[in-house]
Amino acid sequence: MAAARLRTLAHSGSLTAAASRRAPRSWPGLRALSTLSTTLGSGAGEDEIERIRREFEDAKRNYLSIPSAIRGMPKMNPQGIYVNKNVKLDDLQVYGFDYDYTLSHYSEHLQCLIYDLAKKHLVNELKYPESCLQFEYDRTFPIRGLYYDRQKGCLLKLDFFGSIEPDGCFFGRRKLSLSEIKELYGTRHIGRDQALQLVGLMDVFCFSEACLLADIVQHFVDAKLEFDACYVYEDVNQSIQHVHRSGLIHRKILSEPQKFLKKNSQVFRFLKMLKDKGKKLFLLTNSPFYFVDGGMRYLLEDQHFDGNSWRELFDVVIAQANKPTFYNSDHPFRVYDTQKDTLAFSAVDKFLPNQVYYHGCLKSFLQITNWRGSEVIYFGDHLLSDLRGPSKAGWRTAAVIRELEDEIEIQNSDNYRFQQAMAWLATPRAEPVAVLAGNPVFVCSCGMLPRTICHARKGRREGKREERNGKQLLEGSLMSTHAKLSLIHDILGKVNATVVSTKKGQVYRALLDELNAERRQCRAGMRDLFNSSFGATFLTDTGRESSFAYHIHQYADIYTSKLENFLSYPPESWLHPPHDIKIMPHNAKVPASLFSAS
């Protein structure tokens, strides 16, 4: 079996973790080019390599003037709304929300809590070795959007087209090399049959699950114990589910809300703004009502709310909805008695104010409310459980992705922007571009702030500018990394073409090897800016969009880092993707002309 093969490699010492690399301070590829003219004899080969060397040196000199040009380019807004499909906010009459990681957000203590409770369940109930209790959650290891291979036991990061990221395959906590990936899978591309064995880890709750899966596999490998990768997944997933379904995690959070929950008055402002504008609001969550009620009371206790008043914000409250089954089942709604903690037996044919409902299904929901299609938008953090069903039902969908803000901050830094070679610029507008029914229409695109809002927030951005500049100076050693990567890609193509047409192949091969090594170091430097194990959530090390980005593109009409970002946009806005974007609108492209010598 594949897992047994990996254990054999691990025990023999041939399966080792990839060594961390630092961005080099020198240009060995350039030095190789500089010395080739003395190595080669006279002839066409020498003339060609001399031409490539001169071009590379010109590009390197030109690179030194790029930072000033980059700083003049517009930045993507970390608090922006990014658009995959056109959405006219004024047409939206109904707003629906998930609870966990959408209305509420949690501190990093939550992942540690889930991890610890799950590992105790593995040991105490499923009789895993007691040594597993020594494991600790490593917040630097996982990212969202990974896959676990139930057959081979690997954690995978896939790109937009379903291929394994060369530096994104871990067996336990060991990173597999490209040759080991090909030996195990035959190719980097995951076929249809192989995909059936993959389990997506798509929401923030999956961080602890991904880390625990890797730690259990590594423990069995180190202890030289036989195991089946599928059983490991079933046991870990059962333990994670037990933590949620048993109420252990809910009771712990409510006992120390100040430790786990993050208060945010802006969420209340957003909800109240929608209500004041006459919008319909509903809450649709898998969590039990007592947990949602306790959390909302804590989150809104500073907003002069008391008792159950938070429910007045919502026209319909549905708990324990069992998403994603909710979207394709025929389960009936049940009225939940908040005082007696019981479910009524009478049929539900309308939603009454101040009532709480359990279970149900999308079909009944649509029949009762008569809410249809594009007038409804639903916000959630899990692309598959929360958004896939509404998207197929014709609702508009919005993904709330907390990591987006941090990743855009990194992509806005000068060093990261060197990697982009495709021209893409967008100019924000906040002036009315038309008048419909006597009302001005505003158009915003690609998360760029309208100018009026930019001016209003200028002071806050200025306050952060020094901090960002300081961070960029600390990352200065990586600035050359991103510039070099673009230059190396270009020069590799020219050298490859030269190799074909010359007999001096051995010398050229040495040059190619050095340039490829340089490129690997550049990619490692970029990956470490985000996450040293798996890199960015939305991008692969090669600059392609990730599989997680594919799911956002497919199931989210719009996406942003948090709900209150909508407060920065006029309620009459038309949100639309830029006409020339290829996949993800928040991935800005830098003109390749910056690297040309002319």
Which residues carry out catalysis? 98, 100
- Strands, DSSP E only, in 249-384? 280-284, 316-319, 333-337, 342-343, 356-359, 376-380
Q: Parallel, antiparallel, or unpaired: how do β-strands 316-319 and 280-284 relate?
A: parallel
Round to whole Å and give the CA distance between 45 and 40.
Answer: 8
Greatest extent of the chain over all pairs of C-alpha atoms, in Å:
93
Structural contact between residues 504 and 40, judged by C-beta atoms closer than 8 angstroms: yes
Q: Residue 61 burial by CB count (10 A; 0-12/13-18/19+): exposed, middle or buried? A: exposed
Residue bearing tokens 């060197």: 418
Instruction: Point out the annotated binding site.
Output: 98, 100, 381
SS3 per residue for 64-88: CCHHHHHHCCCCCCCCCCEECCCEE
Strands laid side by side in the 573-576 sheet: 87-88, 573-576, 439-445, 434-436
Residues in CB range of 38: below 8 A, 6 or more apart:
none
- Phi, psi (deg, nearest 5) at residue 343: -105, 135
Tokens 């004024």 belong to 90
Sign of the torsion angle spanned by Cα atoms 524, 527, 532, 537 = negative
Annotated binding site for Mg(2+): 98, 381
Q: Which of 16, 22, 18, 17 is nearest to 529 (CA)?
A: 22
> Strand, helix or coil at 155?
strand
**350-382 burial by CB neighbour count: b if 16+ within 10 A, else e?**
ebeeebbbbbbbbebbbebbebeeeebbbbbbb
Q: Which of 205, 291, 203 is nearest to 252 (CA)?
A: 291
Rounded-to-integer distance, Cα 35 and Cα 408, Å? 40
- Reduce the DSSP state of residue 20 to 3 states and report it: coil
Binding-site residues for GMP: 100
Helix axes 505-530, 476-500, angle to 10 degrees: 150
